[in-house]
Amino acid sequence: MLLRTPLLWMLTVRREIDKAHELLRKLLHRGIQPTLITFNAFCMSGLLEDGEKLLQWMLEKGIMPNATTYNCLMKQYFMRKDMRATAALWKGMCAQGVIPDANSYNILIRGHCKARNMKEAWFLRREMIDKVYDLTASSYNVLIKGFIKRKKLREAREIFDEMRSKGLAEDKEIYSIFVDINYEEGNMETTLELCDQLIENCLVTKLNNENN
């Protein structure tokens, strides 16, 4: 299996699908359980239908997938902007007794934000906090932008403050949004504070990284 797994990966990356299917059939026929690497090979090559079939085979054989297995499929469906399939996988994962990890939550939150399901995204964020999971910077960014578009400034501010407290606020666009909001509201002290942070966290940090 150690030799065949990289070969299967290579075949899927090279889009030699027939050969990949044939090799997989031989592995399954011999009772060789597919590894997570095998599963990822199909999903990351865009072969989601094959990934779904492989997942179903694993379940039928009593092989319990872990959160990473589901995350791999969820991420690919999210990238296809298929939120219905992403949410269905999440429900299937929970139904199987697989505990979602931080990555699972971040994928689903970004998906709901892109689909403008901000109520669901807010609920998932609260659930992450309760479980002491960390949101990624990209998850914070899409949450903030989603609430700004809905004109939910209270929620957007709460998330932005949380993001800053964790040292994850490094996006120039996000800072600019709140600089403009506070300026329009006449909060000059906060506006100047955010301008200083924008320069330090976004511009100076970027220049330092480029020079290193």
- Report the percent of the chain where pLDDT is more than 70: 73
Structure confidence at residue 32 (pLDDT): 61
Residues 50, 83 contacting (CB under 8 angstroms): no
Do residue 46 and residue 92 come from a single domain? no
Q: What is the arithmetic mean of pLDDT over 9-32? A: 63
Of 187, 184, 163, which Cα lies nearest the Cα of 175? 163
Reduced to 3 states, what is the DSSP secondary structure of residue 65?
coil
Structure confidence at residue 104 (pLDDT): 95
Q: 203: which DSSP letter?
A: I
Q: What is the arithmetic mean of pLDDT over 130-154? A: 94
Residues 8, 41 contacting (CB under 8 angstroms): yes
Q: For residue 115, is pLDDT > 80?
A: yes
Structure confidence at residue 68 (pLDDT): 82
Q: For residue 1, is pLDDT > 50?
A: no
Do residue 88 and residue 74 come from a single domain? yes
Structure confidence at residue 3 (pLDDT): 36
> Which residue type is seen at 83?
M
Segments forming the whole domain that contains residue 148: 68-169
Q: What is the arithmetic mean of pLDDT over 43-67? A: 72
Do residue 114 and residue 89 come from a single domain? yes
CA pseudo-torsion sign 113, 115, 120, 124: negative
Q: What is the arithmetic mean of pLDDT over 73-90? A: 89
**E strand map for the chain:** none
Render pLDDT for 59-80 as a digit per residue (tens, 0 to 9): 777 777 788 888 888 988 888 8
Do residue 185 and residue 203 come from a single domain? yes
Do residue 3 and residue 45 come from a single domain? yes
Structure confidence at residue 96 (pLDDT): 87
Reduced to 3 states, what is the DSSP secondary structure of residue 33?
coil
Q: For residue 9, is pLDDT > 70?
A: no
Do residue 22 and residue 85 come from a single domain? no
Structure confidence at residue 190 (pLDDT): 94
Do residue 73 and residue 136 come from a single domain? yes
- What's the total number of domains in the chain? 3
Render pLDDT for 177-201 as a digit per residue (tens, 0 to 9): 999 999 999 999 999 999 999 988 8
Structure confidence at residue 37 (pLDDT): 60
Share the mean pLDDT of the chain: 82
Structure confidence at residue 2 (pLDDT): 36
